[in-house]
Structure formats: structure tokens, C-alpha cells
């Protein structure tokens, strides 16, 4: 469905650049999909924003104040990315 002409026209109309991998390579977006799943579940939680600026601010706060500094990541041994970088330095 994401290779259809309708989708390509939608992306072009909204100044979006579609991203697709080769056939059979289903893991290329796994990290991005995991992040956006966490953002939706932990950050946005079905909120409806009055303005785009409020949405941007909320997403920025989620990423910078929670996801990178506080949230524990299983692939980093249960610590935050910030703590992981400090320990690796």
C-alpha cells in the first residue's frame, strides 16, 4: 500500500519523502517504529493539541527531558541514553 500511486501523490502534496526498503528487508524501520510507539504510548497519549507549536513543544520535552535523560532502555542494559554515554566516556 505504501508503494501505490495514491500514497506517492499524498506524500508529494504534503512535502513528505517516503522511505521504503528493498523487498524482504523488514527490519530497516524497527528502531524508528519502536521510538514512535513509545512516543505515542508514553508521551502523547491520544492528546489533541490546539496548535502545532504546542505539539512540537510537547514532543521536544518528551524526547529531551524524558526519553534521552530518564527513560530506561532495555538495549542499553536498563539505563538511560544519557547515563549510558556518561558511563562510556
The structure's pTM equals 0.63
Whole-angstrom distance, CA of residue 40 vs CA of residue 44: 5
Q: Sketch the domain layout of the chain as residue ranges.
A: 5-88
- pLDDT, one tens digit per residue, over 9-56 is 998 999 988 776 666 666 667 778 888 999 999 989 889 999 999 999
Whole-angstrom distance, CA of residue 73 vs CA of residue 39: 13
The reported pLDDT for the residue numbered 34 is 86
Amino acid at each position: 500500500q505504501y508503494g501505490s500511486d495514491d500514497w506517492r501523490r499524498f506524500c508529494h502534496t504534503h512535502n513528505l519523502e517516503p522511505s521504503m526498503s528493498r523487498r524482504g528487508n523488514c527490519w530497516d524501520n524497527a528502531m524508528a517504529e519502536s521510538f514512535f510507539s513509545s512516543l505515542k504510548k508514553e508521551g502523547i497519549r491520544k492528546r489533541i493539541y490546539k496548535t502545532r507549536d504546542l505539539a512540537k513543544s510537547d514532543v521536544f520535552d518528551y524526547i529531551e527531558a524524558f526519553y534521552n535523560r530518564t527513560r530506561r532502555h532495555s538495549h542499553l542494559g536498563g539505563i538511560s541514553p544519557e547515563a549510558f554515554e556518561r558511563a562510556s566516556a
